[in-house]
Structure 1
């Protein structure tokens, strides 16, 4: 009985930004259904799911970093770096001689390098006490440059159906990367809600000093958050490469940090830390993609879409400040 009486209170006390996200999603769906040509076609659904999946995967990693009170500006560069490594493996003598071994290496090696990028960011922030925006700005600048050096600034094309399945495969009629994003969300949700690491993550964002005095492994948890964020960014970079069967270091992951931060904030992540709404990040990714799709499908220039994303971030931050006040 008590639980039944408390249920309406819980519903009423749900974050306003989550209600706002649902309302925005419904409004976008209704508008597109009536005014955007071909929106209800399956091909349009598949394209949007593919785009949402990459944003959502990166946004979930960004949510973990934001939960610690940090930020990661290097995710786009990590995508470019990971995406540049995969074609190099396929185009090497080893990858050409053994395609299956090439697939394994083309997944494992880029994700390992992405993890090292996360370790770099984490150590800079957690051990050397560099401000997160400065620490990750280093890779933001240098990471894409390294990727372009590796590829000589050229478009790297390849043909490997097994690897391309990562970006073009379908499971139960829906894009494989959509299912992959959902699986990652379930795992991260379990980690945050059911493990000691997850509790420490939220405690650090809520009050890092108190978490440290309570004996929490603050440095290890923060480094772990940056590593997970970087690995997920690397995975998103591989998905983009698999979709196109080509790697363009200049474009892969370009401005993804903007989409990831916007999706995380719209999904309910607090910039001061302490919350990690994983499924909220997926909701935010869907909204960000639908805003971009709606504008472009109705003849609005891409530059306006960038402005719209910035406005979305401003509104989400304003809602957070309003709730805090």
Structure 2
């Protein structure tokens, strides 16, 4: 009887940590979000006000859009450090285009060009990253570091290092408009998440994407176009970063190449990892990235609203990444 009890005790001791890890893996993000919301509701002044909701949605939207793109890149076992620089570049181009002579003479075409051309430029940045990684075999962290350094420099050269202010209600709607009383960029982030989720879960590209990240050698032997899949992931990531850059410019009615997208790569990576993306590739939890973005934004808001310095918020984000990676590693054991 005692032996049976002892073996039973051992079984319980073995399964309890596994159950705990399983709970964290499956519901950890939701549990963390619930705890943050409860804390803010109880201790953070004005948290339950509508204006606070709008501010957080506006901030979450840009993080979420970039995090969706980062999730695609991480799904290929890559990383993209250039997302903030791409935001700065796209944001710098937009006001320059519709304030140019062409935009003044043909205002409707100027506005259209201010949306389209910066996104094309962002896509070309992603193409640069993808080609460097896929064809020149440059490590993703090095390839995207090149654009991380040069992209923001190009944006500052284009604007002569000056703040570009403007007043254009059509362009500003991207950042200040509302639908059903909620910020337009929040709806846009949700629509992009649905579109990318469909791309990943319902198309051949999505199947190839997960196959490349899961086992690149096996994917190549099975006939998957590995290089093109990687290029596609980086182009989509840069394209989404360009959208986020335009949103920031539209919110502020100003383009600041030195600040637009600054440290966004940290937020995007943190949101993707917290949302369940595996750094070794093979998974693309798109809506998990949205959840991760909400958590990252609320952590930052909670600390700042309670008088904690911004530098501490950076440390908190780093700690969140470490915890998420630890949980991922524990899955393998």
TM over 0.5: same fold?
A: yes
Aligned to 2:12: none
Displacement, 1:97?
2.3
Displacement, 1:17?
3.1
Aligned to 1:42: 50
The 5-angstrom pairing of residues 93-242 of structure 1 reads 93-242=101-250
Name the TM-score, length of structure 1 as normaliser: 0.95
Displacement, 1:13?
9.9
Tell which structure's C-alpha radius of gyration is larger. Answer: 2
Name the TM-score, length of structure 2 as normaliser: 0.93
CA distance in 1: counterparts of 2:260 and 2:221, whole angstroms: 42
Could you report, residue by residue, the CA deviation over 1:206-239 in whole angstroms, capped at 9, with x for unpaired residues?
0000000000011111100000000000000000
Unaligned runs of 5+ in 2: 1-18
Change (3 A) 1:121 1:319: same
Change (3 A) 1:150 1:204: same
Matched, 1:17 2:32: no
Alpha carbon RMSD of aligned pairs, Å?
1.3
Unaligned runs of 5+ in 1: 1-10
Displacement, 1:101?
1.3
CA distance in 2: counterparts of 1:86 and 1:197, whole angstroms: 30
Which one of the candidate residues 266, 270, 290 is aligned to 2:298? 290
CA distance in 2: counterparts of 1:272 and 1:86, whole angstroms: 36
SS in 2 for 1:79: helix
Matched, 1:318 2:318: no
Deviates more, 1:12-21 or 1:137-146: 12-21
CA distance in 1: counterparts of 2:223 and 2:199, whole angstroms: 20
Asked if the contact 1:90/1:158 (under 8 Å) is kept, the reply is no
CA distance in 2: counterparts of 1:187 and 1:101, whole angstroms: 27
CA distance in 1: counterparts of 2:113 and 2:92, whole angstroms: 13
Asked if the contact 1:84/1:248 (under 8 Å) is kept, the reply is yes
Aligned to 1:62: 70
Aligned to 1:73: 81
CA distance in 1: counterparts of 2:111 and 2:293, whole angstroms: 28
Displacement, 1:95?
1.3
